């Protein structure tokens, strides 16, 4: 019997449910004849630029979306101001992941993260850093728009966490930028963004840089606006420095090419 079948049988017999990420990796291994056995090696095999790796990432992307679309773990998917789930966007081999709070009105309409005013500002920040938005992964803590764009509550965040966890476990990014209090508290509960921004958090093997949410920048004026902009600029640069330190080729992977 193949080792994966033995593992599946063991977990079924013990009535232990395999985590969704593990099931997906086994599925991927079967589907794409990946010879590796351990999860890290399977993930490594899909990071490259070859056709095989690209196809397996496309498959994973679709499976992550299917899993999200089937999600009914909290009532937000029934809320009247919600029209669709908003999955993360970008390559699943991105060394950098940006995490926001949750979809707003524009994101809900378009089914894409960070496409409203805050998203435009985020894209501008990335452009100024010569980072191509299409080359990094951008997602949110929750995937359904809450009524009146209110902050998601703890129950909703916990219920939705399997979606973000699935994305992160497939991407295994080197660095995460947490945009605002909601993603910060996801990784470090009970923290204040005012106190923690700009300070590294290491959690579950990720280097996480908390910074202000772009919507917060948009609400500032005068001297505070200047201060907040500098803080965010500093935090993004700090995150990129760490990324280069951990993975020297990262910046060339996520930058605009000179020709572009
Ligand atoms: N704010 C967020 O936190 N996420 C989005 O996708 C858009 C706005």
pLDDT of 190: 97
pLDDT of 257: 77
Give the tens place of pLDDT for each residue, 96-118.
999 999 999 999 999 999 999 99
Does residue 102 have its Cβ closer than 6 Å to ligand 1? yes
Give the tens place of pLDDT for each residue, 11-50.
665 555 678 899 999 999 999 999 988 889 999 999 999 9
Q: Whose CA is closest to 208, among 216, 200, 197? A: 200
What distance in Å separates the CA atoms of residue 125 and residue 129, rounded to the nearest whole number?
Answer: 6
Half-sphere exposure of 110 (CA within 13 A, CB side): 13
Give the tens place of pLDDT for each residue, 149-179.
999 999 999 999 999 999 999 999 999 999 9
Find residue 140's DSSP bridge partners: 100
Does residue 95 have its Cβ closer than 6 Å to ligand 1? no
The mean pLDDT of 53-68, rounded to a whole number, is 96
Does residue 107 have its Cβ closer than 6 Å to ligand 1? yes
Residue 258 confidence (pLDDT) above 70: no
Does residue 113 have its Cβ closer than 6 Å to ligand 1? yes
Residue 7 confidence (pLDDT) above 90: no
Residue to mutate (ligand 1; options 106, 107, 137, 148; most atoms within 8 A of CB): 107
What's CA 182's distance to the chain center, in Å?
Answer: 13
Does residue 152 have its Cβ closer than 6 Å to ligand 1? no
Residue 1 confidence (pLDDT) above 80: no
Residue to mutate (ligand 1; options 102, 142, 218; most atoms within 8 A of CB): 102
pTM of the model: 0.92
pLDDT of 260: 53
Looking at 6-10, 47-51, 91-95, 239-243, which range is the least confident one? Answer: 6-10
Whole-number Å distance, alpha carbon 47 to ligand 1 midpoint, is 27
Does residue 101 have its Cβ closer than 6 Å to ligand 1? yes
- Cα–Cα separations (whole angstroms), residue 66 to 62, 70, 149, 222, 253: 6, 6, 24, 45, 28
Ordered by start, the domain boundaries in the chain are 71-254
Does residue 114 have its Cβ closer than 6 Å to ligand 1? yes
Give the CATH architecture of domain 71-254.
Answer: 3-Layer(aba) Sandwich (3.40)
Six-digit token string for 134: 């299409």
Band (pLDDT 50/70/90 cuts) for residue 139 is: very high
What distance in Å separates the CA atoms of residue 73 and residue 12, rounded to the nearest whole number?
Answer: 23
Burial class (CB in 10 A: 0-12, 13-18, 19+), 256: middle
């Amino acid at each position: 019997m193949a080792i994966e079948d033995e593992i599946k049988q063991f977990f079924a017999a013990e009535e232990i449910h395999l985590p969704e990420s593990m099931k997906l990796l086994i599925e991927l291994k079967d589907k794409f004849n990946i010879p590796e056995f351990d999860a890290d090696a399977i993930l490594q095999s899909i990071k490259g630029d070859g056709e095989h790796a690209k196809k397996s990432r496309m498959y994973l992307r679709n499976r992550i979306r299917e899993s999200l679309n089937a999600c009914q773990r909290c009532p937000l998917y029934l809320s009247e101001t919600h029209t669709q789930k908003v999955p993360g966007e970008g390559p699943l081999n991105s060394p950098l992941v940006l995490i926001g709070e949750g979809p707003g009105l524009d994101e809900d309409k378009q089914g894409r993260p960070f496409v409203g005013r805050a998203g435009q500002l985020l894209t501008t920040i990335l452009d100024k850093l010569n980072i191509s938005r299409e080359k990094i992964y951008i997602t949110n803590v929750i995937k359904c728009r809450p009524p009146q764009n209110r902050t998601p509550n703890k129950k909703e965040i916990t219920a939705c966490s399997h979606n973000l966890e699935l994305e992160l476990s497939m991407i295994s990014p080197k660095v995460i930028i947490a945009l605002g209090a909601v993603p910060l508290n996801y990784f470090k509960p009970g923290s204040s963004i005012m106190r923690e921004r700009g300070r590294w958090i290491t959690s579950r093997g990720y280097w996480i840089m908390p910074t202000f949410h772009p919507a917060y920048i948009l609400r500032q004026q005068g001297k505070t606006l200047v201060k907040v902009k500098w803080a965010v600029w500093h935090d993004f640069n700090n995150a990129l420095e760490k990324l280069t330190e951990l993975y020297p080729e990262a910046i060339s992977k996520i930058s605009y090419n000179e020709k572009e």
